[in-house]
Amino acid sequence: MGRAFATCSQTKTLEDKKFNVKNYGHFEKWALKLMVKLQLLLLPESRTPDGIQEVKRALASLGVATTGQGSVTISAEVNLDQFERLFGLAATDQELPNKDLVVPSALQHHVQSISVAPQHIYMNEPGI
């Protein structure tokens, strides 16, 4: 069984769990709250305030929530079920952080690439 590359809203991660939450009925409601973090790289012609707003509207229509934006990227998150519907991949695929996802047709005129955001490494103590 794979690892789920998703986090829940309370910032707990499934990074170290060795089970697929969809295989356990009592985790079903909890799993619906798990989100896959995405990073979208915008095409050069969409790196404008109007272009960014268009992408955000398209993401919302696809059930994807925008969590941040820069001048060339948008950060977003989507629940496990919607992720699997949009991209046709299991959210437990261990290779997800290393793959560019297929850009949905609603975003193809604005988005160059979409990838799963890598897990953050949290340090307990400041580095030297």
Instruction: Give the CATH number, domain containing residue 76.
Output: 3.30.70
123 falls within a domain? no
DSSP state of 42: E
2 falls within a domain = no
pTM of the model as a whole: 0.68
Residues in the chain: 128
| Phi, psi (degrees; rounded to nearest 5) at 75 | -100, 145
For residue 122, being part of any structural domain is answered with: no
d(CA 101, CA 113): 7
Q: Read off the pLDDT of residues 67-89 as tens digits, 9 standing for 90 and up.
A: 999 999 999 999 888 998 998 88
User: Is residue 107 over pLDDT 90?
Assistant: yes
In a domain, residue 40? The reply is yes
Number of domains, the chain: 1
Print the domain residue range for 50: 21-116
Nearest alpha carbon to residue 20 among 34, 37, 4, 6: 4
Does some domain include residue 31? yes
Question: Does pLDDT of 9 surpass 70?
Answer: no
Instruction: Give domain status of residue 125, yes or no.
Output: no
Structure tokens of 79?
A: 């629940």
